[in-house]
Structure 1
């Protein structure tokens, strides 16, 4: 691998690590970057998960040291999302390159719209969790797990919405839950991709170096509430990358 490619992967991984931790959508950058390096879509999808697992572990231990860990009451969420991730990953390994690029481009645009709209800020959290909200939340996390196992792009943002809207979590609690759910679902899907020979470990680990550094910085930004500049970078980057993906898929 050329030095330029290593530096590019570490830089892209760093930006993605920050974005994934303070909001969501880091894979909106890393997955297209892997595809543009000429990596087949299924291998890019699998390889991207190496960095996400490392990033999730980094963020998790940062929250542990800050005393922000609260696992009680989240067992059903973790089980539902993990089961969904298994089926999502099994589905993803059968998708063709062109179909994946079209799905990815569409997903990037939809996720970007949600990020710009940011319904999380408009949610008023009631003080109690109703049985209906609990049931809907469990079903939502099965779908979220499937999505995470299949493509993963922007999944953290959807986790935040459900965690705050249905489970009445605070922003910091929802952020920590996002880290746990993403970490578990992506770890499970990574195993499935790896068993099927769809992971390029060297590239994934280089990307993970950047992700880990970005996750460390991002975790501190969340706790200090200094995250305002992230959205601008994400919007400009995603629009550019989605346009190129559509061009290559339809050319």
Structure 2
């Protein structure tokens, strides 16, 4: 596998991460196949996520899809959770982390397919902030620990907390990931779990994909986002069988 191929795949992964979810489940195995230890692949992947999500935030804000108050309320518990998650991820042995990736890939695919097969749509909204705080603390822990697939968890959590449509939900999701990733990167860098040269190549590709993903999400709307989620799930399922 070459760096150029990683760059091309990173663009696609960036589009998935911003406008749907699942891009990291494509990038993590590819970084491992490229030769990075699993925990280093996990840390290296965060650089591109930081850039693509901040570009996504800029793109959403430019199109007036922005809610500062909601962003702050939800990002605080997510940051706290990500600190704990990133720390524990950085100290795990590589063989254990590789097994955990496989397990979460299986769980994510099953849950995603199940949730997309529901015929009845629920519009329940959680009104208690302490409950919302706890939910986003757990999501932040998962995001700090492995990140891959956190997009769908955030989509579900944000919709429960706000009742937003998927376009506004993706805007909030993008801001939350962009913010807590700063903290996660600091932890992974301190532990020596980032390959900076590979990160630069992948980050460039995912940055381009992140900007395009936010643009497409706003212009194409909710149906387009749902289609991308289904595509992401299919890619993850195929990748799981080959892993």
How is 1:1-251 mapped onto 2 (pairs within 5 angstroms)? 5-118=2-115, 122-125=120-123, 130-131=127-128, 134-223=129-218, 224-225=220-221, 226-227=224-225, 229-231=227-229, 233-245=231-243
Alpha-carbon distance change, 125 to 236 in structure 1, aligned in 2, over 3 angstroms = closer
Deviation at 1:215, TM superposition (A): 1.3
Deviating beyond 4 angstroms after TM superposition, the runs of 4 or more aligned structure 1 residues are 119-123
Q: Is the 8 A contact 2:22 2:236 kept in 1?
A: no
SS at match of 1:89: helix
Q: Residue by residue, what CA displacement relative to the aligned partner does 1:40-67 show, whole Å, maximum 9, x if unpaired?
A: 1111110000000010011011011101
**Partner Cα separation in structure 1 for residue 73 and residue 35 of structure 2:** 39
How far does the alpha carbon of each residue in 1:179-211 deviate from its partner, in whole angstroms, 9 at most, with x for none? 011111222101110111111111111001111
Contact 2:126 2:160 in 1 (8 A): no
| CA pair 121-154 structure 1, distance change in 2 beyond 3 A | farther
Q: Give the Cα separation in 2 of the matches to 1:33 and 1:231.
A: 20
User: Any conservation in 1 of the 2:78–2:140 contact (CA below 8 Å)?
Assistant: yes
**In 2, distance between residues paired with 1:89 and 1:154?**
15
The count of residues paired between Structure 1 and Structure 2 equals: 239
Report the Cα distance in structure 1 between the residues aligned to 2:111 and 2:240, rounded to whole angstroms: 15
Residues of 2 paired with 1:159 and 1:235: CA distance?
Answer: 16
Q: 1:55, 1:121 → 2: CA distance?
A: 33
The structural deviation recorded for 1:123 is: 4.3
TM-score (norm 2): 0.91
TM-score in terms of structure 1 length: 0.88
